[in-house]
Amino acid sequence: MKRNTLRAWFQVHRWSSLVCTLFLLLLCVTGLPLIFWHEIAHLTGGEPELPAASANATPVSVDTLVSRALRARPGDVPLFVSWEEDEPRVTYVTTGPRPDASNDEMHVSTFDALTGVAIPAPQFNEGIMWVFYRLHTDLYAGLPGLLFMGLMGMLLVLAVVSGVVLYAPYMRKLPFGVLRGGQRRLAWLDWHNLTGIVTLAWLSVVGLTGVINTLEQPLVGLWQQRHVAQVLQEPPGVAAPRRPAASLQAAIEAAHARHPDAIPSWVGFPGAGYSGSQHYGVFLRGDTPLTARLVTPVFAHATTGKLAGSVTQPVWMQALLLSQPLHFGDYAGLPLKILWALLDLVAIVVLVSGLVLFVRRGSRAQIEARIDARMEMAR
C-alpha cells in the first residue's frame, strides 16, 4: 500500500472514530442493561404473574379484553393487541389518546387470556429501562434523533473498515495479540488493536443492524405506500374509527385460518401506523427462533370484518424484522446475551483506548513518522 493511501486511511479512521466515539460509548453503556431487559424485569418483579386457571378453561374473546381496557381508560382508542411469546396467556392491550399516539402517550393493560382478569404490570414506557431505551435509540429527539444515531452507526462501520485496512500492514510482522511494554502510548495502541480486531465481526453486526433499526419509521412508511396501500385500496382522507365495529376476534380467527401454520403475534388497529385507516392488521409469526421474527400481515376491514388480503414482506422489511432482535442478541436465549454483553464491554475498551490515543497523538510530524514506520514494517 502506498504511503499517501495509508495516510488517507489513517485520517478516515481517526475522524470517523472520533466523531462517533462519545455517542458509541453512550450506546454501549445503555445497551448493556437493554440486552437483559427481559431478565431484569423477571428479577425485579416486572413480569406479570398469571392467576390459576382450570384445565378446561377457554380463552376469553379478544373483543372482551379490548372493551375492558377501554372501560378503564374511556378517553383512549385501541392501538395494538399483542401476546407474550413465551406465555400466550399474557395478552397486552395498548391504548392511547388518538390513533397516532407516540410511545410516551401509550398505556398498556395486561390480561390473562384464559380468565380475562387484569394483571398488575408496570408500563413499558416508565422506569429506568425506558430511559436507557430512549437514550439508546433516539436521545429523546424522535425521528431526528433516530436518524442521527443511524449516522453514528454508519461512521462506526466506516471506522471498522478503515481500522481493518490499517491493521493489516501494522500487524504483518507482529504476532497476533502482542502486548508490548515500554511507552504507555504503545501499550494503549496494542490494546486498541487487539480489542478492535477481536470485536470486528460483532461491531460490524451491531453497527449495521443499529443503522437498519433507526430507519424503521421511513421503512414502515415506504412499506405502507408501496405494498399495503395496494391491498387495502382505501379512499384518501378517511379518518380512522375510534371504535371499530367489526369483531377483532373474528378477524384474528380468519387470518389464522388463512395461515394455519402461523401464530398470531400482534394486531394493529386502524390508524396506528401498520394497517391503514380502515383495517385491522393481524400479524402472524412462525414457531421457530428464526421464523418467529418474520411476520405475515393479514388485513381485515374494521367495519365489515371482510378480509382484504395479505402482503408478502419485501426484503428490506425482512431485514428490519431480523435486525431488531439481532442487535440485542435476542436469538439464542441467555448464552448469546451473555456473549453480547461481554463483547459490549470489550467494545468499551476499544472506544476508551481510541480516545486515549487521540489525546496522546503527538505532533503531525510524529504521526507521519509512525505511519512511515508502519510502511517499513509492511515491506
* pLDDT digit string, tens, across residues 109-133: 999 999 899 998 889 999 999 999 9
Q: Whole-angstrom Cα distance, residue 66 to residue 44?
A: 28
Statement: residue 369 has pLDDT above 70: no
**What predicted TM-score, i.e. pTM, was given to this entire model?**
0.87
Residue 287 lies in a domain: yes
Statement: residue 366 has pLDDT above 90: no
Residue 209 lies in a domain: yes
Q: Whole-angstrom Cα distance, residue 312 to residue 103?
A: 27
Where does the pLDDT of residue 377 fall: very low under 50, low under 70, confident under 90, or very high at 90 and above? low
Statement: residue 38 has pLDDT above 60: yes
Residue 256 lies in a domain: yes
Where does the pLDDT of residue 58 fall: very low under 50, low under 70, confident under 90, or very high at 90 and above? confident
Cell numbers at 195, concatenated: 480489542
Same domain as 310, residue 248: yes
Same domain as 226, residue 103: yes
DSSP annotation string for 208-243: HHHHHHHTHHHHHHHHIIIIIHHHH-PPTTPPPPSS
Same domain as 177, residue 292: no
Which string of b and e fits 239-258 if b means at least 16 CB within 10 Å? ebbeebebbbbebbebbbee
Name the strands in the sheet holding 90-96, side by side, starting at the edge strand that comes first in the sequence: 107-112, 90-96, 77-83, 263-268, 279-285, 295-301, 307-310
Same domain as 30, residue 44: no
- Domain housing 238: 40-132+217-327
Residue 239 lies in a domain: yes
The pLDDT > 70 percentage for the chain reads 91
Q: Which of 307, 327, 347 is the last residue of a domain?
A: 327
DSSP annotation string for 324-337: HHHHTTTTSHHHHH
Same domain as 221, residue 323: yes
Same domain as 172, residue 153: yes
**pLDDT at residue 191, as a whole number:** 83
Query: What is the residue-averaged pLDDT of the chain?
Result: 88
Contact by Cβ (8 Å): 296, 259 = yes
* Longest pairwise C-alpha distance within the chain: 80
Residue 314 lies in a domain: yes
Same domain as 155, residue 105: no
Same domain as 264, residue 300: yes
Same domain as 263, residue 201: no
Same domain as 155, residue 73: no
Among the residue ranges 5-14, 153-162, 270-279, the one predicted with the least confidence is 5-14
Average pLDDT over every residue of 55-84: 93
Show the CA angle centred on residue 300, arms to residues 296 and 306, nearest 5°. Answer: 135
**pLDDT at residue 376, as a whole number:** 54
Residue 137 lies in a domain: no
Residue 138 lies in a domain: no
Report residue 63: phi and psi, to 5°. Answer: -60, -40
Contact by Cβ (8 Å): 278, 232 = yes
Same domain as 290, residue 181: no
Contact by Cβ (8 Å): 100, 39 = no
Same domain as 225, residue 98: yes
Statement: residue 308 has pLDDT above 90: yes
Residue 291 lies in a domain: yes
Amino acid identity, residue 344?
D
Number of domain units in the chain: 2
